[in-house]
Amino acid sequence: MRIVEHGGFVELAEIREFDLARIFECGQCFRWSAAPDGAYIGVAMGKAARIYQEGGSVFISGTLADFNTVWRHYFDLERDYEAIRRAVAIDPFMTKAAAFGAGIRILRQDKWEALASFILSQCNNIPRIKKIIDTLCRLYGEPVDFDGRTFQTFPSAENVASLSLSDLEQLRCGYRAPFLIEAARAVASGDINLEALSNRPPEEALAALKNLAGVGDKVASCVVLFGLHRLDAFPVDTWIRKTVRDHYGSSFDPAVFGEHAGIAQQYMFFYARSNQTRADKMLCETEDAG
DNA sequence: GTCCAGGGTCCCA
DNA sequence: TGGGACCCTGGA
């Protein structure tokens, strides 16, 4: 990878294992949206950016200093995803899923944002999750001027902790609202220290997170994987449960993927979700024919 | 318009 | 250990 700064952008030339659409649409984050020209615009780590991919290069708005302080870390660019993809391709199914997800990277997201986002994600569909998070940010985030528009950061735990249930009514997030406030208060008060948890054994982090109301196995695992960046965490949701059942049966143990089980999970999730519509259609056609 | 299910969690029997 | 309730809405 060659890094070149020009024209208000940092260009990552000859970059490998980087697919912007897959990174932003594999279900790990909810705040990046595609512009009509194919670029993604969003706010992460308090900074707004415009990012696009063209001819083997990735272009990220901002200075080299922005890139080095924020985006290099955020996109986990020091890790060799090509080697990981080979390592988790343990059988024909995973070879297919990993090839389908080539270019996915696990973002190093803000820990509180990951916790809040996955609390809101429970028993919810992705378009609606995005809508709820977008409203939360618009109402309670800090403004960030960028590209002639005003964006908002993800509101801090302190900000959300100061809100009441009626403040959150506009989110239309239903029974998740008290969970969000309780989590914010726990983080803001220091009852739970996400920074410290990222240095603890994963099982300890999981247990601490699950003490929060509305945080069970799935949400806690997502926070450990996407927020604490523990790549061996393996969240099991409806998609993964079905995929594992179909391909491995009941005796499956994610430990077969070793320290990168979470990346394997993400390949599985993205593959299962992306192929569901097509698979259903094929099934219907087969049934019609029969 | 209706119905089902969505990156779950928790409580109770 | 399984079933139902929980808020709301996208999509068929």
HSE value, Cβ hemisphere, 13 Å, CA-based, for A224: 30
Distance A222 CA to B8 C1' (A): 12
CA dist A95 to A134, A167, A195, A252, Å?
35, 47, 35, 17
CA atoms of A62 and A67, how far apart (whole Å): 7
End-to-end CA distance of chain A: 52
- With distances taken from each CA to the C1' atom of nucleotide B10, the closest residue turns out to be A214
CB of A224 within 7 Å of some strand B atom: no
User: Given a cut of 60, is residue A193 above it in pLDDT?
Assistant: yes
- With distances taken from each CA to the C1' atom of nucleotide C8, the closest residue turns out to be A174
Q: Annotated active-site positions of A, please?
A: 218
R_g of chain A, CA atoms, integer Å: 19
pLDDT computed for residue A98 by the predictor = 97
CA atoms of A223 and A117, how far apart (whole Å): 9
Question: A86 φ, ψ to 5°?
Answer: -65, -40
* A102 Cβ contact list (under 8 Å, min separation 6): A17, A19, A22, A85
CA atoms of A44 and A48, how far apart (whole Å): 6
The percentage of chain A sitting over the pLDDT mark of 70, rounded to a whole number, equals 95
What pLDDT, in 10s, does the model give residues A200-256? 999 999 999 999 999 999 999 999 999 999 999 999 999 999 999 889 988 899 999
Give the residues across from A42 on adjacent strands. A32, A49
Distance A172 CA to B4 C1' (A): 20
Distance A95 CA to C6 C1' (A): 39
**Strand B-contacting residues in A 148-187, CB cut-off 7 angstroms:** 175
User: Given a cut of 60, is residue A80 above it in pLDDT?
Assistant: yes
In this prediction, residue A275 has a pLDDT band, given cuts at 50, 70 and 90, of confident
Q: A102 in helix, strand or coil?
A: coil
